[in-house]
Structure 1
Amino acid sequence: MEPNASDLPLADIKILDFSRLLPGPWCTQFLGDLGAEVIKVESPESGDPSRHNPPLYSETSAYFNSVNGNKTSLTLDLRAKGAQEVLARLVDWADVVVESFSVGTAKRLGIDYDSLRALKPSLIYCSISGFGQSGPLSTVPGHDLVIQAAAGNLQAAPDRMPCFQAGDYAAASVATIGILSAIRRRDRTGVGANLDVAMFDSLMAMGNIALAPALSRAGNGSGMPALQVWGANPRYAIYPTRDGKTVAVCLLEARLWRQFCAAIGRPDLISDAEGPADRHSDHGDLGRQYQEAVSAFCATHDRDEIVRIMAEHSLPIIGVHSADEALAGDHAQARGMVRAVPHPVEGEIPELANPLQAAGLARTRRAPAPALGGDTDRVLERLGYGEAERLALHRAKVV
């Protein structure tokens, strides 16, 4: 059941969103799921670049739609004469401003923290960038791959190319947490905030596994043996199956390994000497035996057969799904994580749900991502601009 809009936790919060691409839009969409009202401010020429990212549905970007629900779109040329008055009214309306321009751009456009704080001291301002607003790498564009490279996140990747935008989503998550925390503090103290959220910082803060050997060495340890989490541990790896597919095998704990050995009729592979330190190891001399046994089992069974057998024993061995399989999977459907929603251009499209919906904290249905500038006149009217004033702004190409 869809919660009443007024009951959502951010029902009275207003967000001015200058961000583009992934971290900022994902963050503001999440806050919109929690009830915030979000005005997305875009350049009149082409808007958010992700509007043009393939693949499309029939006319609009699947990516853009997936991170820009619950928003209205206002076009505004911040460089145009007259734009600063519109900006001042927007800031007066807003509780939170989010931007993701390269370092220095916000200041040139007159939307930096100091400029906007002068208009509204209680403003919560969040900058999302690759390497932050300071430091020797601050002027480097923050694409996800360079962030993961700099944060030490690629050293264990077999082909050095990640398949998940860890830096983008780390920053998006930290920005969301930071804004929620700043709102809580402002409500208690009246004090605003200036959040400098870097993809680099955010990913580093989540790097306790990838950086564990380095942390050990920095603390006068040897860093060895290193945690084996991606492939070197034969009980935590991906194996091919008889039908040419693959399964992910996650049998770290001794208890799970014993259950697996019993299930496949190989009790001889159980070692009474195994201790807690072996959990994330390569298992030394026994590693090859483990690898051969798991390989042999998987090679003589089809993927889905393996998953069924392992599920009967409550063991974490799951098929490696394609994106299409994951989207249509029984578990995703049972958890309500994928739903069909109406779209004004595309008809009906799939939507990835907010995980907090079951708790009644998030909308169970988003408003569709807006057309570029599709809400400009409605927003201007809310800001107090009459019809003649709105027409003049259009003629002057301010909006």
Structure 2
Amino acid sequence: MKYHDSETAKEVAGRVESFMDEVVIPREREALETGERITTGEIEDLWEQAKDRDLFAPQVPEEYGGQGLDFSDMLPSFEQVGRSLIGALAIRANAPQEGNMHTLEMVGTEAQKEEYLQPLVQGEISSAFAMTEPKQGGGSDPKMLQSTAVKDGDEWIVNAHKWWTSDGLNADFYLVMARTDLDAHPYEGTSIILVPRDADGVEVVRNIPHLGGHGITEREGGHAEVKFDDVRVPVENTIGEAGQGFQVAQMRLGGGRLTHCMRYSGMAERSLEIAKAYLQEREAFGTTLEEKQALRHRIADAETHLHAARTMVRHAARELDESDARIEVAMSKVFTANVTQETIDLALQCCGGNGIGKDLPIAHFYEAVRAFRIVDGADEVHRRSIARWAFEDVDETEIENTLQFDDDLRIDALEQ
């Protein structure tokens, strides 16, 4: 499908696609065949190759070592990296690093950018975003946040218990969301505070075992449980303004949800490519599977839905350049999460025993995609936002004019 991407977006995405096909995917295939993990040194070598091709960190301004692409221009490249299990990592565009880079670049101080952003972009250090808490803490309802940071002179004293902290096991620093004004509403009294890993009181409890947790790289990021016990950090470690944590997080998550959508759509696209190749080669009951009408129709539906998802994401990205695009992003996220899950499930089914085997990447994609309906906002949370927006737009006068029943029925209908 052709989309109305800019010439820059198409040109860069084409070069990313070539890098994936010529270098990254062949190394991924080799790792799947041999079972040998891809080493950290090999990842760093991929970074150097990405730099040589002017593909490294496309989302980061040039002054920090990236390509300086506009958000809409970089999205098609994220779709290309999603086609490989290590694609995003290979060009330093993987979560949560990509989102944390974006956060520091948007609202970090010059000192924070010099000390943390520059080495983070270059892969010299790693980071994690610590927001989600065990029950009854903040999760789908972030207002339930239990973490606190109390000011003591020129320091914050941070107490928090976080989990599902992506790459928390390897992080050199954490961006911790905590209540800094308990008298204010959480939306107005929460801050994001940068906490170094080596600060006294930081304890990485464990990496949480989870679906899709076994990758093909030597250094697995995972999702950690982390405790912060009376951790003292300077007040200047506040990211953005104190009390503005939710606003900063929303800026981070809005774009992050769309980059996730594109990565997962790339994952679904490659799964379909593999499935279609298999259907063309595999024979059963007298013909190739490609000729079975039921499968052809299901593939047609998958291609249609995937095209719709890509179109929605591009529209949301254009709107995000002008506004927060909260509803457009929510619609894109919930729709793409479900479409990519259904598409990868279909691809696995089409490949039968080869689909569930891990010689192909589809089984890995299948395990990974299920989490997408939960991370970055569960389906139900996004649907709640969309429904609230939908009903705010209802004209009650129009309802009155169109209900042609007696008074009791009209009252019942309006109450419902």
- Structure 1 length-normalised TM: 0.22
- Pair member with larger Rg: 1
Q: Structure with the greater relative contact order (CA < 8 A, sep ≥ 6): 1 or 2?
A: 1
| Structure with the higher helix share, 1 or 2 | 2
TM-score normalised to the size of structure 2? 0.21
